[in-house]
Structure 1
Amino acid sequence: MPKILFKLSHYPQVSETFVTAQIVTAIKCGFDVQILVKKFIDFKGKGLDEVFEKYSLEEKIIEEKIKIPRKRISRWVGAFILLVQNIRYLPKILLLIEENKKLDLTILYKMNFYKKFRGTEIVHIQFGNNHQPFEILKKVGFINSKIIVSFHGHDAFFPIYGFIQPGYYDRLFKYGNLVVTNTPYLEKQVASLGCAVEKLISIPIGVDTTFFKPKKNKITDSDSVKIITVGRLDKVKGHEYGIMVIEKLIKFGRNVKFIIIGDGEERGSLQKILVDKQLEGTVNLVGKKNQEEVRDLLRSSDIYLFTGVPVENNRRETQGLATLEAQACGLPVVLFNSGGVKYTIDNGETGFLVKEYDVDTVVSRIELLMGNSALRKKMGQKAISFVECKFSQKSIDRIWCKTYNQLINE
């Protein structure tokens, strides 16, 4: 059974279910999976228990803990012992020291930790900024694994966590075998960072359409329309513009309720907007929710709204998984045409794309859907078929199985 190692930072993050879905995909493709993390986060009670138990994911996790003695003499003695034990790797060790541009005893300790992955066929890095040290280990020939890196959004726009460095990804792009993005929008951005186009492919994040599906016998209250959006409370999600939409609908006498699922640093400012505009009760910030809660709230809603906008360095939403989950649940969508969002909708068929910041047109599109329940239902039905055809997890799994196997056989 071929081995694949997933390289992550903090795992599992409730907001990054797509990472767990990717790991499960590799298991379904017949790989022996290991998950290397800087920090393992307790997942109990966060809606992940079932999938972790079904695929024994906790047993596959290895924390990146490299024990290096604090006392100098102990560090030297330990390093000497490791050098003797790993003398066959001496040429690689010297290359690592040269790559580091200084004599650093910790290299021996790190190398001793990473040697357990030498027999791994594929290293799949999730988020580009988690790339170290595998591209360096490959450069010096310490590992021969094929390296895949999946970019997801923030990792392709500087500053990353306040960090800017020219050539940050140069070695990764040179020694990585495949660079994956979720949309052509993000692919173009990664290419602008210096990645060769022949190494780039786009594979969208899939939706579990056996989980995200419409509620049977859904009862719709024609006197009130429930609008919903899902996304962390971050400027790139443009929640303040969604609130503007609702404010205008209320002024026009429309009976609407708006739920915003997610949490983040913008919560305080958004709450202040609601107070100032007297929209508390009409617009509800409900915080983080697990997958079941998100699905149930989508099912009980009528229209999905997303008003993402560009932020610093022209960064935009790169795909919009929640937009697909909403459509899978039978909701028509109204979206700002921002970043990669346009790739998640069949415009005019499953919903409407509107140019960024054009709140008035968004209002008119929602009024159209509010006043025509037959159109809402028709678009919702088309949305279900659209997601099933192009974004179902089963179809994305097939693409990944083919991609993994082609890479191994190159």
Structure 2
Amino acid sequence: MKILFFVGEFPKLSQTFILNQMTGLIDAGHDVWILAKKAESNGKVHDDVLKYHLMDKVIYYDQNGRDSKLSKGWGLSKGLCRHYIHKLLKKNYIRNVHLKDLLKYPNLILLIQTLRKLDLTDVDIVHAHFGPNGLLAQKLMQLGLLHGKLYTTFHGYDMLRYVKKHGDSVYEELFQSKHTQLPISEYWKNRCEQLGAKSKHTIVHHMGIDVGKFEYCPAVQEKEIRVLSVARFVEKKGIEYGISAVSQLIDQGYSIQYSIVGGGPLEEKLRTMIQEKHLEKHIHMLGWKTQNELIDIMKKAHIILLPSVTSQDGDMEGIPVLLMEAMAMGKIVVSTYHSGIPELIRHNDNGFLVEERDVEGLVRTLQIVITTPENWQRITENARKTVLEDFNIERLNNQLIDLFKGNYSK
């Protein structure tokens, strides 16, 4: 099969879950292509991007990668002019494009300009990641610029912030079509159906990891406990609550080294928290790391901490891939009752969960973990088993292929 992935940014360090699907489908003998708006700006890429020569398979529809409101407005204005010039000249005009579509989907004109130069009539599957890309893909199919069956994976923000901005009916046309929706958890499946998705066309398909890349190396008891968080520094990741909890434990005399990998808009706020609490010797911000660099860091960790929260604007997680990776490696995971995370972590069975924004609960839970190392083996063995059985990318990709071929039944 020829499969076209429709994404926003590629390559993108934080989206290993999409990369794992791409490489798995290539390994299974399928022809994978990528339609993306732009590349991530930090310049780091995963090794698999190079190993699989994926940059040779990318079609960018915004070569300039401009994000400012001014440039978007200018791009739309130029696009509208070109659109109506083509109409008047009856040259390369796509008759089904209407002004309301161009206003509703600012990226549509860039996509039309790009795809009209290409021949994608031999595509069997279009796999859009995130709802807005699914909407664009459907519109391009209506215009005859994309072909094949459309599958849209919903991850989280596309069911919340995007809906809040554009209204509860924003996905109505997509949801009423025969195209298939692939929410990544039962939590988001329920949300899709609340917004009008048909149950018969809505299938939970988890994101997963290549378990073979994550050696089972459970930490042994030591005097100093190493805690690790990996996240984009935005509100929903809850890193400030992790810092507060670790700070209290250090004040109580626990020997802890807390490493934080990532970056983002809240970085200065988090650094200020650490400085004000005089924790520079205990809490270290390491910046972004590639997957191999991160694996080396995780091998040395005892506890992986991700205290996710619902942000003030309603943004939420999906099921963080980091937690799957940590569980596969035999690490103790501590997270929150948030979004689809309880579908991965069962409290006191394969990890630990606390309520959102509950710093005291985090402190108590971390105390329990640190002081009961006799429970670590049971919990970490259960954790790896969970990932092997339910979040194993090899199994999940086989399910995805069956789905694309029409051999999958709910």
Give the TM bin, normalised by the shorter chain.
Answer: 0.7 to 0.9
Aligned to 1:129: 132
- TM-fit CA distance, 1:56: 2.8
* Structure 1 CA distance for aligned equivalents of residues 298 and 146 of structure 2: 45
Is the deviation greater in 110-119 or in 223-232? 110-119
Aligned to 2:188: 186
Contact 1:149 1:176 in 2 (8 A): no
Q: How much is the aligned-residue C-alpha RMSD, in angstroms?
A: 3.3
- TM-fit CA distance, 1:313: 4.4
* Structure 2 CA distance for aligned equivalents of residues 133 and 316 of structure 1: 23
Aligned to 2:29: 30
* Structure 2 CA distance for aligned equivalents of residues 188 and 312 of structure 1: 21
Contact 1:346 1:386 in 2 (8 A): no
Aligned to 1:147: 150
The structure-2 alpha-carbon separation of the partners of 1:111 and 1:383, relative to structure 1 and needing over 3 Å to count, comes to closer
The structure-2 alpha-carbon separation of the partners of 1:112 and 1:63, relative to structure 1 and needing over 3 Å to count, comes to closer
For the pair 1:405 / 2:408, whether they are aligned, the reply is no
Task: Give the alignment of 1:159-170 within 5 angstroms.
Answer: 159=162, 163-165=165-167, 167-170=169-172
Contact 1:25 1:400 in 2 (8 A): no
* Letter aligned with residue 13 of structure 1: K
Contact 2:157 2:316 in 1 (8 A): no
* Letter aligned with residue 156 of structure 1: M
The structure-2 alpha-carbon separation of the partners of 1:110 and 1:359, relative to structure 1 and needing over 3 Å to count, comes to same
Would you say how many aligned residue pairs link Structure 1 and Structure 2? 391
Is the deviation greater in 32-41 or in 284-293? 32-41
Identity %: 24
* Letter aligned with residue 361 of structure 2: T
Looking at CA atoms only, which structure, 1 or 2, has the larger radius of gyration?
Answer: 1
Aligned to 2:214: 212
Contact 1:8 1:37 in 2 (8 A): yes
* Structure 2 CA distance for aligned equivalents of residues 336 and 321 of structure 1: 14
- TM-fit CA distance, 1:52: 2.8
Is the deviation greater in 69-78 or in 220-229? 69-78
* Structure 2 CA distance for aligned equivalents of residues 408 and 43 of structure 1: 39
Aligned to 2:307: 307
* Letter aligned with residue 331 of structure 2: L
Q: Report the 3-state secondary structure (helix = DSSP H, G, I; strand = E; otherwise coil) of the residue aligned with 1:82.
A: coil
* Structure 2 CA distance for aligned equivalents of residues 322 and 295 of structure 1: 10
For the pair 1:61 / 2:63, whether they are aligned, the reply is no
Q: Report the 3-state secondary structure (helix = DSSP H, G, I; strand = E; otherwise coil) of the residue aligned with 2:406.
A: helix
Is the deviation greater in 310-319 or in 279-288? 310-319
Q: Report the 3-state secondary structure (helix = DSSP H, G, I; strand = E; otherwise coil) of the residue aligned with 2:232.
A: coil
* Structure 1 CA distance for aligned equivalents of residues 58 and 110 of structure 2: 23
Is the deviation greater in 192-201 or in 118-127? 192-201
* Structure 1 CA distance for aligned equivalents of residues 122 and 382 of structure 2: 46
Residue ranges of structure 2 left out of the alignment (5+ in a row): 64-74, 104-108
Aligned to 1:283: 283
TM superposition score normalised by structure 1: 0.84
- TM-fit CA distance, 1:111: 8.9
For the pair 1:172 / 2:174, whether they are aligned, the reply is yes
- TM-fit CA distance, 1:225: 0.7
- TM-fit CA distance, 1:408: 10
* Structure 1 CA distance for aligned equivalents of residues 87 and 386 of structure 2: 62
Aligned to 1:368: 368
Aligned to 1:238: 238
The structure-2 alpha-carbon separation of the partners of 1:127 and 1:141, relative to structure 1 and needing over 3 Å to count, comes to same
Q: Deviations over 1:308-351 (max 9, x none)?
A: 11113433222111111111111111222111111121322211
The structure-2 alpha-carbon separation of the partners of 1:250 and 1:121, relative to structure 1 and needing over 3 Å to count, comes to same
- TM-fit CA distance, 1:233: 0.8
Q: Deviations over 1:112-136 (max 9, x none)?
A: 6176223322111111122354312
Q: Report the 3-state secondary structure (helix = DSSP H, G, I; strand = E; otherwise coil) of the residue aligned with 2:293.
A: helix
TM superposition score normalised by structure 2: 0.84
- TM-fit CA distance, 1:165: 4.6
